[in-house]
Amino acid sequence: MKILFFSAKPYDKQFFDVYNRPHGFEIEYLETHLGPHIVNAVDGQDAVCVFVNDKVNAEVIAILAGKGVKVIALRCAGFNNVDLEAARLHGIRVCRVPEYSPEAVAEHTVAMLLTLIRKTHKAYNRVREQNFSLNGLLGFNLHGKTIGVIGTGKIGGAFCRIMKGFGCKVLAYDLYPNRELQLAGIEYRPLEEVLRSADVISLHCPLNPATHYLINESTLAIMKPGVTLINTSRGGLINTAHAIEALKSKHLANLAIDVYEQEEKLFFKDLSESIIEDDAIQRLMSFPNVLVTAHQAFFTEEALTEIAQVTLQNIDRILHGQEPEQAGAVLV
């Protein structure tokens, strides 16, 4: 049985080759993202494996079905880039990795938060230039602050627990409150109350029509002046233009993003010798109080191991007429 990978990087090959040994799939890796421009590269494969920025729309799915593809496997948790109804119509199974070391993303969120508020990235560069001055490096304590968490799935829940360990008051919003988190002292509140009360807001909800541009001019206006905002979920949760205006007015004091709404043109590529034409990301990176990482939050040995193992198990079981073992792995 054959699998064609899209958006494949050297680390994908490293981990999938190791964990493919018990399965014996014939795997081919393509670095390009999947979309109408490249879908005809599929030739005789039983499954395609895609990542967060692959475009698996109705047009692509129809062609995949015509080529005999039986499984679309996402090596990630989010699936906003796949037309599930089209897959259902064409009889293609879609699976994902619903949870892969949620602590990896939660801990990266904390790392970004601490970097911003304690300015460790600036201190690092200063000291390397033998500048030991503290001027301009004043930060603030997390202890005693109110942290707002939007979305308390596996990742959001892990982040909530870490913030409680810092001695923070944690307010959360989710359509489905988690009883275990409530028992741990996490307080669920309406979205507007969370936005209005929090000193730090962290986004951990999926991207769908209801959450697209959740952070916009109106919701930013509700937030406290001087709020810190972090997004390690999906770029489309934030209206970038509105966030830039909030930064310029200083209403938004700090912004950390590991995801960006136009990231498919930028992230996972070395553009150090290129001219970036995206004015919005260039403007964001010009602010001294903005921290950008390139969809790195998932990138740990533990997470990549889990992703490889679960993805290959999902494909193997589906192609053998069985259901994947991990709850929530099957989407269609």
Residue 229: strand pairing partners:
201, 255
Residue 326: strand pairing partners:
none
Which one from 234, 242, 264, 306 is the annotated catalytic residue?
234
Q: Is 99 a catalytic residue?
A: no
> How far does the chain reach from its first CA to its final CA, in angstroms?
21
Number of H helices, E strands in the chain: 12, 12
Which one from 261, 263, 264, 306 is the annotated catalytic residue?
263
Which one from 75, 204, 242, 295 is the annotated catalytic residue?
295
Task: Give the strands of the sheet with 200-203, arranged side by side.
Answer: 187-188, 169-173, 146-150, 200-203, 227-231, 252-257, 290-292
7 and 34 Cβ atoms separated by less than 8 Å: yes
CB within 8 A of 308, min separation 6: which ones? 15, 16, 18, 19, 20, 75
Q: Is 263 a catalytic residue?
A: yes
Report the sign of the C-alpha dihedral through residues 159, 160, 161, 167, in that order: positive
Which residues participate in catalysis according to the annotation? 234, 263, 295
